[in-house]
Amino acid sequence: MTTVHYQDLGLIDYQQCWDYQEVLFKGTIDRKISNRKVDPEAAVTTESYLLFLEHPHVYTLGKSGDPKNLLADEEKLKAIQASYYPINRGGDITYHGPGQLVGYPILDLDHFFTDIHRYLRELEEAVILTLAEYGIEAGRYPGYTGVWLDAETEQARKICAMGVRCSRWVTMHGFAFNVNTDLNYFKHIVPCGIDDKDVTSIERELGRKVPMQEVKDKMKHHLCALFSMELVPQEPLFSEA
């Protein structure tokens, strides 16, 4: 079982968190490169991390995304108190905001499995199993990443978006799981570049809010089981100042 450092960053600015991810991501890659230069045959010792957090209102566009899928101009973004970032993950445009559980696993997949498609499927499975605990039947939509309800029907709606970056089998970015999310913010984008499908949240499906900590605990449980990992709580490795 692989030990993974778990950090709950609370509500954190997107740029600050992106910079922090890059530090952890680069540090892990640099350590792998350094260790292998010393002894290419030796087992490489690296640290892995799981960050859980929420962001203030923000739209992010993946490197393969179309900027036209952001429907709000600069004036509108200011009016709704949202920011916008083109970033280096896969996928198209998505929204992050309060009430949404964002997970950024920074994992060295050499300690798990070196298969990025399996990695995405396991992240999806953790969300699917968590939703099942609330009586919500979810699944996958062939050809798309993320987690869907009533996939391949006219009522298809996405409840969790995913976009990752992977280099030397180290991952960053991750998933955005709509828990008590204000879905009105999705009206200002073409979510994930898909213009004919709806988005939803646990709150919308159940007709009530659910405790965010409860969802975090369920997600951690399923991620640990799927990835055969043990989470060790850790304070963030940056200063609030």
Number of domains comprising the chain: 1
101 occurs within a structural domain: yes
pLDDT digits (tens, 9 = 90+) for 198-226: 999 999 999 999 999 999 999 999 999 99
238 occurs within a structural domain: no
More confident of the two residues 197 and 176? 176
199 occurs within a structural domain: yes
More confident of the two residues 52 and 198? 52
pLDDT over 70 for what percent of the chain?
Answer: 94
Which DSSP state fits 210? Answer: -
232, pLDDT greater than 80: yes
What's the whole-number average pLDDT of the chain? 92
241 occurs within a structural domain: no
Which position among 17, 160, 166, 192 bears the catalytic label? 192
Name the token pair of 190: 């073409």
pLDDT digits (tens, 9 = 90+) for 134-176: 999 999 998 888 999 999 888 999 999 999 999 999 999 999 9
Mean pLDDT value of segment 52-58: 97
More confident of the two residues 10 and 86? 10
Mean pLDDT value of segment 185-194: 81
110, pLDDT greater than 80: yes
Given this model, what pLDDT does residue 240 score? 58
Mean pLDDT value of segment 29-39: 81
22 occurs within a structural domain: yes
Given this model, what pLDDT does residue 43 score? 61
Given this model, what pLDDT does residue 38 score? 67
User: What whole-number distance in Å separates Cα of residue 72 and Cα of residue 111?
Assistant: 42
pLDDT category, 195, cuts 50, 70, 90? low
Assess whether 17 carries a catalytic annotation.
no
5, pLDDT greater than 60: yes
175 occurs within a structural domain: yes
Given this model, what pLDDT does residue 87 score? 84
Half-sphere exposure of 19 (CA within 13 A, CB side): 8
| Cα angle, residue 157 at apex, residues 220 and 178 outer, rounded to 5° | 35
CATH number reported for the structural domain that contains residue 46 in this entry = 3.30.930.10
91 occurs within a structural domain: yes
Q: Which of 49-53, 55-59, 92-96, 145-149 has the lowest mean pLDDT?
A: 92-96
Q: Which domain holds residue 224?
A: 2-233
240 occurs within a structural domain: no
Given this model, what pLDDT does residue 239 score? 65
Dihedral, 151, 153, 158, 161 alpha carbons, nearest 10: 50
Is residue 51 within 8 A of residue 103, CB to CB? The reply is: yes
Is residue 180 within 8 A of residue 92, CB to CB? The reply is: no
196, pLDDT greater than 90: no
Given this model, what pLDDT does residue 199 score? 94
9, pLDDT greater than 90: yes
